[in-house]
Amino acid sequence: MADITGDQRIQSEVLEGLATAVNHRRWFVELALPYLGDNPIEIGSGLGDYAIEWSEHLPRFTATEADPDRLVLLKERMADYPAIDVKQMLLPSPEANGQYSAAVSYNVLEHIEDHVGALSSMKDLVRPGGAVIIIVPAFMFAMSQVDIATGHIRRYTKKTLATAFTEAGLEIEKIHYANALGLLGYYTATSIFKLAPKEGPMVKIYDSVVLPVTKAAERVVRPPFGQSVFCVARTPR
């Protein structure tokens, strides 16, 4: 079974801080939406912010969490959303029955030692021809004490993420960097000033001022670097 590493308390603090970055979340919600199908599953739903926004566009959605304490909070929050089913799930999962239209996982794969095995398990959860949709943090030079404290084993390039997908038996449809200015800001904040991305003025200014400009620019031109790598791959038909 794939262990997810890191201090759960620090992870929750970072999740709570990033939950205030509404524009950032909506951008990443939009990236995955065309590929989710009618009945997707999310691996590592955390506090459920993405799940809630995706579920508004879908008839059914399954949110999952590995950490028992966060699972309790997730179930309490999702009680108000009848279209969202909540499950505890670790990868690999015995529920690899190919019933879902897609598997989506944001900022989880970098915590898992056997990331190829995790992607293979996601593939097995999805119908033939369905999508596996991943966002992970980019570039090892940006690995900071925040990454280490929250349990990041690695950060990715397009090449290293594509290799993991291919080794898991998935066929890549789209892969690109996202949030170029975010990478510069993250590196400056976490590696130079030793700050954590928690709720506060820094996150709010970034989300309200910098993020909209970055999003608009990257709709026109894909940047050669970014804070994240976004990838969509298909399961074999």
For 205-220, the pLDDT digits (tens) are 889 999 999 999 999 9
Q: Within a domain: residue 104?
A: yes
CATH of the domain at 82: 3.40.50.150
- Find out whether 65 and 44 touch, Cβ atoms under 8 Å: yes
Residue keyed to tokens 């059914």: 60
Three-class secondary structure of residue 88 per DSSP: strand
pTM for the whole thing? Answer: 0.89
State the chain's mean pLDDT as an integer: 89
Q: Within a domain: residue 80?
A: yes
pLDDT of 124 reads 96
Q: Within a domain: residue 1?
A: no
Three-class secondary structure of residue 4 per DSSP: strand
Residue keyed to tokens 């201090």: 7
Cα radius of gyration rounded to whole Å, the chain: 17
User: Would you place residue 15 in the very low, low, confident or very high pLDDT band (cuts 50, 70, 90)?
Assistant: very low
Query: What angle, 0 to 180 degrees and rounded to 10, lies between the N-to-C axes of helices 8-18 and 68-78?
Result: 30
User: Would you place residue 94 in the very low, low, confident or very high pLDDT band (cuts 50, 70, 90)?
Assistant: confident
- Find out whether 123 and 168 touch, Cβ atoms under 8 Å: yes
Q: Within a domain: residue 16?
A: yes
Residue keyed to tokens 């399961």: 235
**% of the chain with per-residue pLDDT over 70:** 90
- Mean pLDDT in residue range 183-190: 84
59 to 52, 89, 123, 194, 211: CA distances (angstroms)? 12, 21, 21, 43, 30
- Find out whether 18 and 203 touch, Cβ atoms under 8 Å: yes
User: Does pLDDT of 106 surpass 80?
Assistant: yes
Q: Which domain holds residue 19?
A: 8-234
CA distance 85 to 62: 5
Residue 51 token pair: 């799940």
pLDDT of 95 reads 72
Q: Within a domain: residue 2?
A: no
- Mean pLDDT in residue range 50-69: 96
Q: Within a domain: residue 61?
A: yes
User: Would you place residue 102 in the very low, low, confident or very high pLDDT band (cuts 50, 70, 90)?
Assistant: very high
**Residue 212, amino acid:** P
User: Would you place residue 138 in the very low, low, confident or very high pLDDT band (cuts 50, 70, 90)?
Assistant: very high
CA distance 108 to 151: 10
Q: Within a domain: residue 3?
A: no
Q: How many domains does the chain have?
A: 1
pLDDT of 89 reads 92
